[in-house]
Amino acid sequence: MSDVSVPLCPPFSYLEDADRLTRDHMSSVLAQVRPKLFAFLQQDPHSPLSKRPRRLMMMLQGLVSH
């Protein structure tokens, strides 16, 4: 049984404070995820399932722009 008080996703500050190798890897992962996420959202932009991917896309855009 998991503890519901522990967040499932780490805060983005962990990613920002990560060592150089992790930050470098993160940028390559983001570069691969963004186009796939964008394509998913383009298929059915008004789907009830697109709310979380849309939010993730906005967060990724913020991370990439910094």
pLDDT tens column, 17-60: 667 777 778 778 888 888 998 999 999 888 888 888 888 888 88
In a domain, 24, yes or no: no
pLDDT of residue 62: 73
Q: Which domain holds residue 51?
A: 34-66
What DSSP line would sit under 3-65, residue for residue? -TTS-SS--HHHHHTS-HHHHHHHHHHHHHHHHHHHHHHHH-TT-GGGHHHHHHHHHHHHHHH
Task: Classify residue 55: in a domain, yes or no.
Answer: yes
Count of domains in the chain? Answer: 1
Read off the pTM. Answer: 0.56
Residue 51 belongs to some domain of the structure: yes
Token readout for 9 is 């996703």
Residue 19 within a domain: no
pLDDT at 16: 64
25-34, long-range: CB < 8 A, 24+ apart? 26/63, 27/64, 30/60, 30/63, 30/64, 33/60, 34/60, 34/61, 34/64
